[in-house]
């Protein structure tokens, strides 16, 4: 969550007077830290706390009212290719961005100009909609759930491609977190974007159920 990088320099007085809702997307971040969730900047300086709970705590400690804090779940995933078959692809190096998929997850889109029907609608290497990713477990990929970090990933060792994203399991747990983080809960949740959910609206319905809607 890139917004964590700036949280330490937000002045309390500015945050308290901020009248709008605070929108923070997880892109998709783990719910809790693992020890590996950090960014390296400058001369190898590591900035820890790139997880939802650390970011929420930073804003709450800086004075943001819990009722104004909302967490966004992207209905897309980030992917890499050239990932070695070690630790199910997690925390490994990659040679490049994942290629664009067919919408049904059965293969790769041969043309990302937008003129070929059936390609994933994002048409961007390194990104894929939840709709396309949800079909990959039936097409050679295995789904891995990290219960300690509350995060999920997809990996196919045959093609060496790895995706991190949110699925219904992580979405539901994040909604429970929103409800139970502190008395009264946080402000709520949102998605980007509705069009990237599957045809049944699985992710949005899961989030609504988790928030008691």
* pLDDT digit string, tens, across residues 159-179: 999 999 999 999 999 999 999
The per-type count for the chain, helices as H runs and strands as E runs, is 6, 11
d(CA 96, CA 113) in angstroms, rounded, equals 19
Give the per-residue pLDDT at 36.
Answer: 46
Average pLDDT over every residue of 89-106: 95
| Confidence class for position 28, pLDDT limits 50, 70, 90 | low
Give every CB contact of residue 9 below 8 A, 6+ residues apart in sequence. Answer: none
Query: What's the CATH code of the domain at 90?
Result: 3.10.50.10
> Is residue 92 assigned to a domain?
yes
Average pLDDT over every residue of 122-141: 96
**Which domain covers residue 108, as residue numbers?**
77-165
| Confidence class for position 52, pLDDT limits 50, 70, 90 | confident
If asked whether residues 83 and 110 sit together in one domain, one would say: yes
Does residue 29 carry a pLDDT above 90?
Answer: no
> Is residue 9 assigned to a domain?
no
Domain boundary among 130, 149, 165: 165
């Amino acid at each position: 969550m890139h917004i964590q990088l700036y949280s330490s320099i937000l002045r309390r007085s500015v945050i308290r007077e901020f009248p709008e809702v605070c929108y923070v997307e997880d892109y998709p971040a783990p719910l809790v830290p693992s020890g590996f969730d950090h960014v390296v900047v400058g001369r190898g300086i590591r900035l820890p706390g790139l997880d939802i709970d650390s970011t929420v705590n930073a804003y709450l400690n800086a004075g943001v009212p819990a009722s104004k804090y909302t967490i966004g779940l992207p209905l897309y995933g980030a992917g890499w290719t050239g990932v070695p078959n070690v630790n199910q692809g997690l925390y490994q190096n990659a040679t490049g961005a994942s290629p664009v998929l067919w919408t049904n997850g059965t293969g790769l889109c041969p043309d990302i100009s937008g003129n070929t029907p059936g390609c994933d609608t994002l048409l961007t290497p390194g990104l894929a909609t939840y709709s396309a990713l949800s079909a990959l477990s039936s097409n050679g990929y295995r789904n891995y759930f990290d219960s300690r970090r509350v995060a999920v990933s997809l990996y196919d060792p045959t093609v060496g491609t790895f995706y991190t994203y949110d699925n219904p399991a992580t979405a539901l747990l994040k909604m429970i977190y929103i409800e139970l983080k502190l008395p009264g809960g946080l402000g709520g949740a949102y998605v980007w974007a509705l069009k990237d959910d599957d045809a049944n609206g699985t992710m949005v319905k899961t989030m609504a159920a988790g928030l008691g809607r």
